[in-house]
A and B are shown apart, each in its own frame.
Chain A
Amino acid sequence: MDFGLMARIFPFFLEAALVTIELSLLSLALGLTVAAVITMFRLSRLRTLRAIGTLYVSLMRGTPCLIQLFILYFGGPQIGINLSPFAAGAIGLGMNIGAYMAEAMRGAILAVDRGQTEAARVLGFSRFETMRIVVLPQAAKLMIRPLGVNAVALVKGTALVSTISVVDLTYTAQRFIGSTYKPFEIFAVAAILYMAMIYALSKVVDFLDRRYAAA
């Protein structure tokens, strides 16, 4: 084990980890937005919207994320979509995780007792008001954990963007192998940094859960 090498490459890897973090935050924001829209579609009274929502979720969850990134980045230019590797990565990952997060949101909303909706509706609240005033505040608490699990999966999933030449942590690690021939040490450093990110993220989720979901 070459600890000297690990110490020497560490600063370079920190910088690459920053790219991974940026990419994670951007695709998380996009994913949550996509998920909110898809959830509205899936719970809509309009059959067309429900069908679009269901189709989106099954497409995104039914195909490998790697293929989705390839279609967007390599296939995009063919239909006039020219994205930088980073942009393609952020959009691809966000759209993918959005489908999973939509399922988490829908599950949480459906888990709120039906009696809550009935109680609000008999007072005279509209469907929308019932959702906003009564259901969502309760569902939000139930969403924190499952969305946290999705966010962790997203951070780990960012490693895929190394295949479309985004200079993230995984890509950087691969580049260093050529000059050092010590893949064990190099990937170990990358793994440690991923673990640190996941640990920090899970602490944030724990905090949010304790702060908001405590009954």
Chain B
Amino acid sequence: MNAASKFAGANDRPMVQVIDAHKSFGAFEILKGINLSVNKGQIVAIIGPSGSGKSTLLRSINHLEALNKGEVWVDGIQVNRPLTGHAFEQHINSVRQRMGMVFQHFNLFPHMTVGENVTVGPIKLRKMPAARARDLAMELLGKVGLQDKYDAYPSRLSGGQKQRVAIARALAMEPSVMLFDEATSALDPELVDEVNLVMKQLASEHMTMIIVTHEMRFASEVADRVLFMDGGIVVEEGPPSEIFSNPRMDRTRTFLKKHLAG
């Protein structure tokens, strides 16, 4: 795809675009020039060994990691605009409201009830009246099957329930894109499915999603496109059918052999 066709029309413009992303931690270069483009409604899974840079790439999309070089665009806005100080603070706080993120360790606010976890963003950031925020939270908690936990504290929930609340919390900001950072890696095996089910439902509603995962089967089921990363570069990308059944690169084959066997 060349630049002209990429920007042919507003609808063709990618929802998320990462251009030549470089990131180092000290002397160690974790991202060595990554390009990523995700269209509206597309679901991209990023797989690869640990240390390959996949989480760093995901975290650079909402600027939890600042790139040393390269650009990140979301919904037509450059995330890592070259601003400083207060101006950048304001910019990043507003652009982050367009993205939802789900973490491996849930990171629910333990001092707030489930309902407060979901409504705190809409009320404080979107200035939504409390009653409307409650309705929204109820609707979203219904969607993830946890309406009855509205008044419970996170400590009372199972890991799978916590992660579903975390998804509802992210959705409450009505984001244009959802980022999942190994959302099921910290869960007991029997709790993985309930979270995957919620993610599949989001996928069926055409939410734009970028999913960093260790679960090859899940990636092959939901993703439109799979990126295999290793050593800070994208080794191979394509539709799951190609990547999983007919990988072109040796590194991909070796990785998949190890992970599909288990």
Interface residues, chain A, with chain B CB atoms under 8 Å away? 113, 115-116, 118-127, 129, 133-134, 137-138, 215
Chain B neighbourhood of A113, CB < 8 A: 107
| CA of A196 to CA of B64, assembled, Å | 51
* Least Cβ–Cβ distance between A181 and chain B, in angstroms: 58
Q: Which of B76-113 contact A (CB under 8 A)?
A: 89, 93-94, 96-97, 99-101, 103, 105, 107-111
Interface-side segment among B39-47, B118-126, B250-258: B118-126
| CA of A118 to CA of B65, assembled, Å | 11
Chain B neighbourhood of A133, CB < 8 A: 120, 124
Chain A neighbourhood of B103, CB < 8 A: 115, 118-119
| CA of A118 to CA of B124, assembled, Å | 17
19 CB-based A-B contacts, threshold 8 Å? A115-B103, A118-B103, A118-B107, A119-B101, A119-B109, A120-B109, A121-B96, A122-B101, A123-B121, A123-B169, A123-B170, A124-B96, A124-B97, A124-B121, A124-B125, A125-B121, A134-B109, A138-B111, A215-B155
Give the residue of B62, B110, B124 whose beta carbon is less than 8 angstroms from that of A122.
B62
Chain A neighbourhood of B120, CB < 8 A: 123, 133
* Least Cβ–Cβ distance between A190 and chain B, in angstroms: 43
Q: Assess the B93–A124 pair: CB atoms within 8 A.
A: yes
* Given A118-B64, A122-B62, A129 and B107 contact (CB-CB distance below 8 Å): no
- Least CB separation from B95: chain A residue: A124
Q: Assess the A125–B105 pair: CB atoms within 8 A.
A: no
Counting chain A CB atoms within 10 Å of each CB, which of B64, B94, B99, B111 scores highest? Answer: B111
Chain A neighbourhood of B166, CB < 8 A: 119
Total interface residues in chain B, CB < 8 Å: 26
Interface residues, chain B, with chain A CB atoms under 8 Å away? 62, 64, 89, 93-94, 96-97, 99-101, 103, 105, 107-111, 120-121, 124-125, 155, 166, 169-170, 173
Q: Assess the B107–A123 pair: CB atoms within 8 A.
A: no
Give the residue of B99, B101, B107, B125 whose beta carbon is less than 8 angstroms from that of A116.
B107
Q: Assess the B101–A126 pair: CB atoms within 8 A.
A: no
- Least CB separation from B59: chain A residue: A118
* Least Cβ–Cβ distance between B6 and chain A, in angstroms: 27
Chain A neighbourhood of B125, CB < 8 A: 123-125
| CA of A125 to CA of B101, assembled, Å | 13
| CA of A129 to CA of B103, assembled, Å | 20
Q: Assess the A126–B89 pair: CB atoms within 8 A.
A: yes
Chain A neighbourhood of B111, CB < 8 A: 137-138
Supplied contacts A122-B99, A125-B121, A137-B111, 6 more A-B pairs, CB within 8 Å: A115-B105, A119-B101, A123-B97, A123-B125, A125-B93, A127-B89
Chain A neighbourhood of B109, CB < 8 A: 116, 119-120, 134
| CA of A118 to CA of B179, assembled, Å | 13
| CA of A215 to CA of B111, assembled, Å | 9
* Least Cβ–Cβ distance between B78 and chain A, in angstroms: 17
Give the residue of A115, A125, A137 whose beta carbon is less than 8 angstroms from that of B124.
A125
Counting chain B CB atoms within 10 Å of each CB, which of A120, A125, A215 scores highest? Answer: A125
Chain A neighbourhood of B96, CB < 8 A: 121-124
Chain A neighbourhood of B169, CB < 8 A: 123
Chain B neighbourhood of A215, CB < 8 A: 110, 155
| CA of A122 to CA of B103, assembled, Å | 11
- Least CB separation from A123: chain B residue: B121
Chain B neighbourhood of A138, CB < 8 A: 110-111
Chain A neighbourhood of B108, CB < 8 A: 119
Closest 5 CB pairs of A and B: A119-B107, A124-B97, A115-B107, A122-B101, A123-B121
Chain B neighbourhood of A119, CB < 8 A: 101, 103, 107-109, 166
- Least CB separation from B179: chain A residue: A122
